[in-house]
Structure 1
Amino acid sequence: MNKNGPKVSVLLSVHNHENYVGPAIESVLRQTYQDWELIIIDDCSQDRSPDVARQYKDERIQFYRLEENKGAILTFNELLKKASGEYIASLDSDDIWYDNKLEEQIAYLEQHKEIAACFSWAEFIDEEGALYSATKKVCDCDIRIFMHENRTQAQCLRYFFDNDNYFCRSSVVLRSDVIDEIGGFDPRFRVLHDYEYWVRLIQKHPVYLFQKPLLWYRRVSVDNNSLSAVNIKNVTRVLNEHQMIVYTMIKEMDQQIFCDAFKDLLKKEVTNDTRLLCEKYFVLLHWTMLGTVNNRQVALRFFHEFMDEGVIETLQKDYQYSWQDYYKEMEKTWQLYPLDFYQDYRELSERAVHTEHANQALLQENESYRKEVRRLIREIQGMSQTISWKITQPLRAAKRVVSGIRH
């Protein structure tokens, strides 16, 4: 990667986003930080996306069009090859940056050389660009998914192990030398490539998450053939990719980070490499993921790859774990819920999010009424202390008497 270019290389891949790519490009042009290049690759769009992108005549913009569709992963890796900046920023073609995004993130990375990358929260918008929180429209996922606290490397990887990814790709700014070290996206992961990449990154370096949104993240309706749809193919793909990522994460995790991340699950003090292998095996036996019950496939794979005579001896001596215990694990099956479970889970999640949004709106409305009541009470109390109020008190009393007679 050539480092003699502008400070920041902004990478944008587009595929059939004629309605959204324009606002995405304009959000780069509006940045308060202007030392950037914008590299756009159109991944063989069948709509007017290339025409829209070509309309922007700025010397800092490079536009390329692929004659055949390569997919998001390979297209992004092509973008990386063309980047020349000291920093790399990613922007999906349907998302929109805040004007100050690059300025804040570059300033932070310049001041914190130990941080390899920084992310931010994001606000969710719909097809028309309206905020989900403002329209009260039900989004098909939790709009707080990116709203997390900062975590250490160990804490981050433990969260990934127990849950899933919570970083937004359009929010990231990375140091290009870190990308030289860890490489680009892995095309083996069609759906969870972001998740796998962040795991690989955080295994080696700390990252920072801005505790505020710096972009609008667009969530559009999906059809049943998209990678976001809940169908048997996508569910199976996600489960397979997820277990591969977790296996590699535990396998490659160094001792200190592993012990910090899983200190509550350790059976013994990790004093050597053999103990470390044993503890990793037991942690993988403990792992569960959405839709599975104690998915032991990754643990059994780990056992077959690393359990030599020395490790077996340590398991038997230090952990009282025998071959019979292992055979029992081999008898247990990898249990999947039926597809209906995932569909019901998604529907119930949508309802829960909608209900929480409605509750929050009612709480805010209730609080506004309370504030108005308190204001009126203070106003009445102030009026009751004035001279004119006291002087006219007999007149008000007489008016009440007269009003009573008329009724």
Structure 2
Amino acid sequence: MCKISIIMPVYNKEKYIKKAIESILNQTFKDWEMLIIDDGSTDDSLAVCRIFEDPRIHVISTENSGVSHARNIGVDKAQGEYLTFVDGDDYLAADYLENLYIEPYDMIIGGLTKVDKAGKVLASVVPELEKEHRMEKIAPCFYKEQLTTGIYGFVAGKMVKRSIVTQYQIRFDENIRLAEDYDFFLKIYAKIESIYFTKATGYYYIQETENSAIVLDDSKIDFFTQIEIQRKTRQFLEDKKCFHKENEAMYLERMTGYVYTIFLNQKQVRYRDIRTTAKRLKQLVPVVSTKCSGVQKIFMGLYKRNCYMLMYLYLKMKKAMSRHGG
């Protein structure tokens, strides 16, 4: 058994994958295996992956089933003491694994560096905490930091003991297209007692590459699923007795934004559809914030009072105005 299993899903990344693999081969920490799962690429990604003959690299080809399915294959086949994930269009500093492999902790979280396609540094994201902290210390600031930086949701900059993942049968939800990584790690946070934090930022996260979820527009996002993930976050915080007033206010603001966006994205503005959507949402988001501005505040007031007809008329008018450039 090796120390670290690196899991890399690949789909149409031939422009980037060679650099990603080479950055792993150049690691100062050598006791690793890499599981590359080609998710039915239609370009030459698979051929590029097979160029490398290092015995630590294992290339698996599968039919296109999505990034979560590919990562789950990697999790199932991994043999390392720890798991870490690297995407096929990103790359690592030479000391990345060395800085993250910190025994005997169940989980280690570091930072990352955002770069453009030319390698220019755009920003760095680092955890607010440093060294080991128990969940009782982490949970009170968890939600604000996640909403501000996303650091608890990225697959980047994390290492977790494989025994935790296998013991609790934690896997990526293959039905989630966006924030599937955050959903995965939420399951882990609920099962561990502490996390070790490091300020290392040796994961280079390339912004807005092809096939990246970050470039999805609102019309292609399943906001009902995003609502469910936020509800899981709330449950996690409540279990840790940390869903205080500030967290509740941020939670309501986020959920309110999702509710409003769901209505705006209705392809057909029909009264019965608006009413059905509103009733479904009321089961998931019974309370919304009215601390928003302008027309959104008016609309959420209508939602709060179950004024379905007025909601319908508002959306009908907004759709007509958008068609005429208003």
Which TM-score applies when normalising by structure 1?
0.58
Q: Report the equivalent of 2:272.
A: none
Whether 1:331 aligns to 2:306 is yes
Displacement after TM superposition at 1:240 (Å): 2.1
Whether 1:109 aligns to 2:92 is no
The amino acid of 2:306's aligned partner reads E
Whether 1:212 aligns to 2:200 is yes
Q: Report the equivalent of 2:127.
A: 148
The amino acid of 2:120's aligned partner reads L
Tell me the distance in 1 between the aligned counterparts of 2:259 and 2:60: 46
CA shift in 2, pair 1:330/1:161, >3 Å: farther
Tell me the distance in 1 between the aligned counterparts of 2:156 and 2:115: 14
Tell me the distance in 1 between the aligned counterparts of 2:279 and 2:215: 25
Q: Report the equivalent of 1:403.
A: none
Q: Report the equivalent of 2:234.
A: 250
What pairs with 1:200-279 in structure 2 (closer than 5 Å)?
200-205=187-192, 206-221=194-209, 227-229=213-215, 231-234=217-220, 236-237=221-222, 239-251=223-235, 253=237, 255=239, 257-258=240-241, 260-262=242-244
Displacement after TM superposition at 1:59 (Å): 1.1
Percent of pairs with identical residues: 21
Larger strand proportion, structure 1 or 2?
A: 2
Whether 1:9 aligns to 2:36 is no
Q: Secondary structure at the match of 1:216?
A: strand
Displacement after TM superposition at 1:213 (Å): 0.8
CA shift in 2, pair 1:44/1:222, >3 Å: closer
The amino acid of 1:159's aligned partner reads K
Displacement after TM superposition at 1:303 (Å): 9.3
Verify the 8 A CA contact 1:40 1:63 in the aligned structure 2.
yes
Q: Report the equivalent of 2:159.
A: 173
Displacement after TM superposition at 1:83 (Å): 0.3
The amino acid of 1:301's aligned partner reads Q
Whether 1:158 aligns to 2:140 is no
Verify the 8 A CA contact 1:9 1:38 in the aligned structure 2.
yes
Tell me the distance in 1 between the aligned counterparts of 2:142 and 2:281: 17
Displacement after TM superposition at 1:217 (Å): 1.2
Q: Report the equivalent of 2:257.
A: 292
Tell me the distance in 2 between the aligned counterparts of 1:262 and 1:300: 22
Tell me the distance in 2 between the aligned counterparts of 1:148 and 1:297: 39
Q: Report the equivalent of 1:274.
A: none
Verify the 8 A CA contact 2:85 2:156 in the aligned structure 1.
yes
Q: Secondary structure at the match of 2:37?
A: strand
Q: Secondary structure at the match of 1:287?
A: helix
Verify the 8 A CA contact 1:222 1:228 in the aligned structure 2.
no
CA shift in 2, pair 1:162/1:329, >3 Å: farther
Whether 1:127 aligns to 2:113 is no
Whether 1:191 aligns to 2:175 is no
CA shift in 2, pair 1:332/1:153, >3 Å: farther
Q: Report the equivalent of 2:86.
A: 91
Tell me the distance in 1 between the aligned counterparts of 2:200 and 2:88: 21
The unaligned stretches of length 5 or more in structure 2 are 261-277, 287-302, 320-326
Tell me the distance in 2 between the aligned counterparts of 1:40 and 1:285: 38
Q: Secondary structure at the match of 1:69?
A: coil
RMSD over aligned Cα, in angstroms?
A: 3.5
Tell me the distance in 1 between the aligned counterparts of 2:67 and 2:206: 17
Displacement after TM superposition at 1:191 (Å): 0.6
Displacement after TM superposition at 1:96 (Å): 1.0
Count residues with an aligned counterpart. Answer: 272
Verify the 8 A CA contact 1:203 1:253 in the aligned structure 2.
no
Tell me the distance in 1 between the aligned counterparts of 2:204 and 2:111: 9
Which TM-score applies when normalising by structure 2?
0.71
Tell me the distance in 2 between the aligned counterparts of 1:297 and 1:177: 42
Which stretch shifts more, 47-56 or 173-182?
173-182
Pick the structure with greater CA Rg.
1
Q: Report the equivalent of 1:364.
A: none
Verify the 8 A CA contact 1:200 1:249 in the aligned structure 2.
no
Verify the 8 A CA contact 2:127 2:198 in the aligned structure 1.
no
Q: Secondary structure at the match of 2:103?
A: helix
CA displacement, residues 62-100 of structure 1 (integer Å, 9 cap, x when unaligned) = 11111x211101110011111011101111111111111
Verify the 8 A CA contact 1:243 1:298 in the aligned structure 2.
no
Q: Report the equivalent of 1:30.
A: 26
Tell me the distance in 1 between the aligned counterparts of 2:281 and 2:127: 29
Q: Secondary structure at the match of 1:212?
A: coil
